[in-house]
Structure formats: structure tokens, C-alpha cells
Amino acid sequence: MVAVREPVPRRRVDWGRVGLHVGCLAALLVMLYPLAWLIATSFKPADEVISSLRLLPSRLAMSNYTTALEGVGGVSVLRLIGNSLIISTGAVLGNVISCSLAAYAFARLRFTLRGPLFALMLATIMLPQHAVLIPQYIVFNQLGMVNTFWPLVLPKFLATDAFFVFLTVQFMRGIPKELDEAATLDGCGPFRTFFRIILPLSRPALITTAIFTFIWTWNDFFLQLIYLFEPEKFTITLALRSFVDTSSQSAYGPMFAMSVIALLPIVLFFMAFQRFLVQGMASSGVKG
């Protein structure tokens, strides 16, 4: 007998999924276009930066990067990046240490007025930064810290970023309390329980805090403009503004070139810890 093959059923095209993928690709192109424009413009000659609407330059102007690497006001770009790294790294350490300690107190310990204090802490999220800017400036000026990095780093060690405290609290509430009870039976106090058990388990939330703190501090312009005066203490963010102040429109090419250079540390930092970012954000919203 000759075996008869049954016809293979044709797969139906899921046009809904196809449309979803096309829409996602279109949205991706829209979001990536500003980045592509920035990179392409950093290679454009000075006369094409504003006048030409084409994405690709007619010729590569490598002099933009040469001028950008020279820095601003006699300060090299490496010094500017170093200043930004010092401030951003200090802010990351301050937020990770102080916010984790504050979150541990609100999430795991029992003390008087814990609920009202937690609500007051959350209320500070809605407080505009400009409302406390003048009092903070007066305090730092009296302490002789103006025109130093301290006003940009020291507040981070006082758990002033309530958003990160709340984020870490939500994560720590998802850790089983039986671990605390077992540690107490083994003779661990609150601090030993925190450092030996809670802190290692809270790594995703802490890395999320570190990533957002690094990016926000690196991109900050307003506070750095208020507290830093001398070019030797400028960050790369302030240096970008200096191109427009000193040379007007003729320095747009080097300014975009320095913008590309300023993006590299953020991109590398994000790529190194992005998987922890997704895990931390997802885990922090499990329990309230």
C-alpha cells in the first residue's frame, strides 16, 4: 500500500502580532532618531549644524572632537569627566548606604510613630527641589562648602531622596520575616541582621538605586550651576553649556561632540547593570 501524505495545514498569519511588531519597530526608530541625529551632527561642519536638515553630514569634521577633547577654560575633558565621576560616585554611595538603612528601619523595625514618619517621608517626594534650594545654599555657604563638591554629595548620605527609600522599603517588605526571627534566635541584633541577611538579599533594589542615582546626578545641571563656580571644578554637564556661552553658534559642533563623549559613561554603566534594574523594579512592586 502506498502511504498517502496528509496535506500540511497552512499557518495563518497573525496580522495582529505583525502589526504589534511593526508598531514597536516604528516607536523604536522614533526614540532612537534623536540619538542618531546627535551622533551624526557631532561630525558635521559648523556651517551644516543649523542650516542643513540632512541626517548624514556631507563630510566628516573630526575637528569637532579635537576641540571637545581640549575641554573648556583650560580644563581638559578628562578632568571634566573625572569631576562628574567623583560627584556621581559619591552620590551613589550616599544613596545606597543611607536609603538602605532608612528603608530597613521602616520595613523591618517597630518603633513609635513609624507610620506618621513614613508618611511624612513620602510627602517630601511632592516637595519641589526649588523650595529648599535657598535654605540649603545658606547652610552650605555658612559652612564654607560652596564651590566644592560637598553640597552635591553630602545630602545623599542623609537619605534625602525619598523615592529610593520608598523603592527599597517595598523590596524589603517582600523578604520573609522568618529570616529576621531566625537571625534573632541565633543572637543577631538589628544591625547584624541588616548587614548579614537583609542587605545581600536587597541587591536588586540597591543596584536600581545606584543606576538611577548615577544617571540623574551625571545629567544634573541646575544644582551644579548653583554650587560650582571655578572651571577646575566644572563637570562635563556645565562644560557643555560653556561652549554656547563663550563661542556662540560657532561651537555647536564641538558641543555635540562633547555630548556624545558625555553619553558614553552612562551607556556603559546602564549596560553593565540593566538586568538588575529590571529585576529590582519588578520585585519592588510585588508587595506594598
**CATH classification at residue 125:** 1.10.3720.10
Which of 261 and 269 is assigned the larger pLDDT?
Answer: 261
Whether residue 268 is contained in a domain is answered as: yes
Q: What is the residue-averaged pLDDT of the chain?
A: 85
Q: CA–CA separation, 243 vs 71, rounded Å?
A: 9
Per the document, the length of the chain is 288
Rounded Cα distance between 253 and 274, Å, is 31
What pLDDT sits at residue 16? 78
Residues 28 and 116 in one domain: no
On whether both 46 and 130 belong to a single domain, the answer is no
Residue 98 and residue 43 in one domain: no
Q: Are residues 169 and 34 in the same domain?
A: no
In this prediction, residues 63-76 reach a mean pLDDT of 85
pLDDT at 53: 74
Residue 6 placed within a domain:
no
Q: Examine residue 155 and state whether it is found in any structural domain, yes or no.
A: yes
Asked whether residue 219 is assigned to any structural domain, the reply reads: yes
The answer on 166 and 200 residing in a single domain is: yes
Domain contains 195: yes
Residue 50 sits in the same domain as residue 146: no
- Same domain for 53 and 83? no
The verdict on 23 and 131 lying in the same domain is no
Q: Is residue 287 part of a domain?
A: no
C-alpha cell at 16: 495582529
pLDDT tens digits, 134-173: 999 999 999 999 999 999 999 999 999 999 999 999 999 9
Same domain for 87 and 39: no
Number of domains the chain is built from: 2
Q: What's the CA angle centered on 199, arms 162 and 167, to 5 degrees? A: 25
**What percentage of the chain carries pLDDT values higher than 70?**
89
Burial letters 135-145, b for 16+ CB under 10 A, else e: ebbeebeeeeb
- pLDDT classification of 286: cutoffs 50, 70, 90: very low
CB 156 within 8 A of CB 91: yes
Say whether pLDDT at 45 is over 50: yes
| Number of continuous H segments (helices) and E segments (strands) in the chain | 15, 0
Supply the range of the domain harboring residue 108: 75-281
In a domain, 247, yes or no: yes
Q: At what angle do helices 236-247 and 77-108 cross, to 10 degrees?
A: 140
pLDDT value of position 283: 55
Write the Ramachandran bin of 90: left for phi over 0, alpha for psi from -120 to 50, otherwise beta.
alpha
| 106 and 213 in a common domain | yes
- 8 Å CB contact between 245 and 123: no
Domain assignment of residue 14, yes or no: no
Do 174 and 108 reside in the same domain of the chain?
A: yes
Question: In 3-state terms, what secondary structure has residue 235?
Answer: coil
Q: Which residue has the higher pLDDT, 277 or 116?
A: 116
Instruction: Give the contacts of 160 (CB within 8 A, at least 6 positions apart).
Output: 124
